[in-house]
Structure 1
Amino acid sequence: MTDHTPKPEAPWGRWVQAAIAVAVMAAVLIVVELIDTVMNGRLDAHGISPRSWSGLVGILWAPFLHADFAHLIGNLLPGVVLAYFVVLSGHAIAVTAIVWVTSGLGVWLIAPSDSITIGASGIVFGWLAFLIVRGVFNRDVWQVLGGIVVLVVYGGILWGALPGTAGVSWQGHLFGAIGGVLAASVTARDRPGAPAIDQGGFR
């Protein structure tokens, strides 16, 4: 007989996979912005137009679109770091999906009717909120400490979830952060009915 017991995955393997996933994400955003630049920004019209049926479709496309490379880089600088740790959490798809929809619907519902909202910052805020609070929902001391570190390093951007800065979608930031907290609750290991999962490592 042959023992087919799978070997445990080396921690560095997950780290490399997470880095590759984040690099692919960043590359896609850069390519889209290059195409948009060549098209003189015409893609930006496909962002979220509040309270219109066509604007609902914009929820899907808005995070891929940015006003210019300065806007994109402003989101990528914190985004790639936060995304990396969200991927390591093992819940990247679920967290991102929840944040994406929550942020987009929030913009669609309460943003000014004459605006078109674009950019991935709502998702960045959601990732940030998720990493800050997930340890509380998981009752994990190390995750709580990690959340405190994330809060100290990146918490200053949370002010962007408040009204005040012209041209900034505080609605997307606020609802993105709400989505991050919701995602932390939904993916928590200890929530009622959640299956026991051996997550191991930094998850």
Structure 2
Amino acid sequence: MNSISQPKLLPFLITTWILLVAIHLINLLFAMQLNYYGVIPRESSGLYGIIFHPFLHGGWSHLINNLISFSLFSALVWQFKPNRIWLLLVLGTLLPGLLVWIFARTSIHVGLSGVVYFLWAYVVFYGFVRRSIKSVVISIIVIFLYGGMAWGVLPIKEGMSFESHLFGMICGAVMGYIYAKQDIKNSGSLRQKIEKEITSL
């Protein structure tokens, strides 16, 4: 399945870059007014942001940094189960977005970084729980190269939505654990079925 789905990764990433850059250009034309569609905690008008916040950014550096990280972690998720990326993106948008709306500081929270932290934590936890050679190697590489991202869940930088990072990381870790356990169970069942068929010959 991976070998069949793998070529779709590049079009997916190119489409993502084009879409988010186009939205940012439109936002600039409207003097960044689209950012009012971000998550505004505990405000009814801020509920729209649970869906829209990953598409909105505060500036070019914010957007480009998020797109680079997003592309990397999407590619790593692709190595596990390519067809799962769509569900993970929905979960990585809605779950952290909802938690930000409920618990975060009163502000406007925008950016793809919550999804990025979701994918980062998913890759790490999935790899170590799944415990295949490939998944563990990927997790170790991610921790070695991007372990510093953990500082982003702390309120150490003014104007940064650390809540999006924190809730994205928590949700990604939970989903990585759940899906790894599910895949272990499914692969075990398949292995047992094959062994049973062999022994019955």
TM over 0.5: yes
In the TM superposition, what is the alpha-carbon distance from 1:117 to its structure 2 partner?
0.5
In the TM superposition, what is the alpha-carbon distance from 1:195 to its structure 2 partner?
7.5
Q: 1:167 to 1:134 in 2, by over 3 A?
A: same
Aligned counterpart in structure 2 of residue 94 of structure 1, from 82, 87, 91 = 87
2-structure distance, mates of 1:195, 1:104: 35
In the TM superposition, what is the alpha-carbon distance from 1:186 to its structure 2 partner?
2.9
Indicate yes or no: 2:61 matched with 1:70: yes
Residue 169 of structure 1: aligned partner: 161
Contact 1:94–1:183 (CA<8 Å) still a contact in 2? Answer: no
Q: Deviations over 1:20-65 (max 9, x none)?
A: 1111112111110011111111101110000112212211000000
The TM-score with structure 2 as length reference comes to 0.85
Residue 45 of structure 2: aligned partner: 54
2-structure distance, mates of 1:81, 1:10: 17
Aligned counterpart in structure 2 of residue 150 of structure 1, from 142, 156, 180 = 142
Residue 194 of structure 2: aligned partner: none
1-structure distance, mates of 2:54, 2:25: 15
Residue 125 of structure 1: aligned partner: 117
1-structure distance, mates of 2:14, 2:80: 17
In the TM superposition, what is the alpha-carbon distance from 1:19 to its structure 2 partner?
1.5
Q: 1:10 to 1:86 in 2, by over 3 A?
A: closer
Contact 1:107–1:172 (CA<8 Å) still a contact in 2? Answer: yes
In the TM superposition, what is the alpha-carbon distance from 1:134 to its structure 2 partner?
0.5
Could you tell me which amino acid in structure 1 is paired with residue 137 of structure 2? Answer: L
Q: Runs of 4 or more off by more than 3 Å in structure 1?
A: 194-197
Residue 10 of structure 2: aligned partner: 19
Residue 171 of structure 2: aligned partner: 179
Contact 1:133–1:144 (CA<8 Å) still a contact in 2? Answer: no
Aligned counterpart in structure 2 of residue 140 of structure 1, from 132, 147, 166 = 132
Residue 33 of structure 1: aligned partner: 24
Residue 116 of structure 1: aligned partner: 108
In the TM superposition, what is the alpha-carbon distance from 1:196 to its structure 2 partner?
5.2
1-structure distance, mates of 2:71, 2:122: 15
The TM-score with structure 1 as length reference comes to 0.84
Q: How many percent identity over aligned positions? A: 30
Equivalent position SS for 2:184: coil
2-structure distance, mates of 1:101, 1:89: 22
The size of the alignment, in residue pairs, is: 186
In the TM superposition, what is the alpha-carbon distance from 1:190 to its structure 2 partner?
2.4
What runs of 5+ residues in structure 1 fail to find an aligned partner? 1-8, 198-203
1-structure distance, mates of 2:190, 2:9: 23
1-structure distance, mates of 2:174, 2:89: 11
Could you tell me which amino acid in structure 1 is paired with residue 8 of structure 2? Answer: Q
2-structure distance, mates of 1:96, 1:10: 18
1-structure distance, mates of 2:26, 2:78: 27
Q: 1:56 to 1:149 in 2, by over 3 A?
A: same
Calculate the aligned-residue CA RMSD, in Å.
2.1
Q: Give the structure with the larger helix fraction.
A: 2
